[in-house]
Amino acid sequence: MQYTRARRAVLGALATLALVPIVACGQGSSAASSSLSAASSPSAAATGPGAATKPFAGELKELERTFDARLGVYAIDTGTGREVAYRDGERFGYASTFKALAAGAVLRKYSLSGMDRVITYSKEDLVANSPVTEKHVETGMSLKELCDATIRYSDNTAANLLFDQLGGPKGLQAVLRGIGDDVTLMERREPELSRWVPGDTRDTSTPRALAKDLRAFVLGDVLGKGERAQLTEWLRTNTTGDELIRAGVPKGWVVGDKTGSGSYHGARNDIAVVWPPDSAPIVMAIMSNRPDKDAAYDNKLIAEAASVVVGALS
């Protein structure tokens, strides 16, 4: 999918509408929260239904109707501070997106110098969707290899082994609390954590919280320079995201992402740092699910939402 000039022109004309300062909606709110704000805004102001007149809000609502889905979006241009937010404070099952944060937490704990440590495991430790770890039961894998498998191939056993190094899901949650995330709730391991159903708060987060976490690890000072570079390399070479955010941004933009999909309700997510040419990075988190428990996900929803984000921030 490419961002067309015609669409840019339409959004440019609509962008003359006044910008509205941002506020996250409360957890579990059924109303869409949407705003586009500048970093110069002195404080967040409450936004009512009028915020939905923003052009991007209308486009995201239309995507929800078209795909019969609930969509949550948070994105920030780190150069200007401008934000796109839509259901950004509502909870979604995070599914495999947590794996980027787990790898970041392992890098923080062990640093690059400790990533050659070999972790052994048995066949009994293997769980579904473990394309890399299933090949190395006899030899074990280094922490670096496990992080690579976790992010680039979404290997579930590798992710569980990273959990072990962090003290389990609650250990990773504690790391996130330490960097300012008081929203994300981590309870289960793979593959159970991907079995989110409506009303369940286990293994959930919000688009805003996940985007802030990813920004802290990739662009902030949570990690050292070398560790940030390694995490960025894994995200940029992820093999599972070509049809999601990558498909929704203009050609030539560099995307580092971690995808996630749930077992039920067509849950599909992608969190990413996006590097436009000659511009500051954009951090975005796009999360979704559908009302029917047996519904399949559609990657086009995430790609289309990413395209809307690009248009709103351009």
* Catalytic residue IDs: 96, 190
Q: Which amino acid is at 169?
A: P
Q: Is the dihedral of CA 304, 310, 313, 314 positive or negative?
A: negative
What CA–CA distance (Å, rounded) separates 175 from 191? 21
Q: Token pair of 171, please? A: 């250990």
What is the DSSP secondary structure assignment for residue 192, as one 8-state letter?
G
Burial per residue of 233-272, b for 16 or more beta-carbon CB atoms within 10 angstroms, e otherwise: ebbbebebbebbbbbbbbeebebbbbbbbbebbbbbbbbb
The answer to whether the beta carbons of residues 284 and 245 sit under 8 Å apart is yes
Backbone dihedral region of 215: left (phi > 0), alpha (psi from -120 to 50 degrees) or beta? Answer: alpha
Q: Token pair of 217, please? A: 């690890």
**DSSP assignments along 152-168, one per residue:** HS--HHHHHHHHHHHTH
The answer to whether the beta carbons of residues 50 and 94 sit under 8 Å apart is no
Q: Can the peptide bond before residue 198 be classed as cis, meaning omega within 30 degrees of 0?
A: no
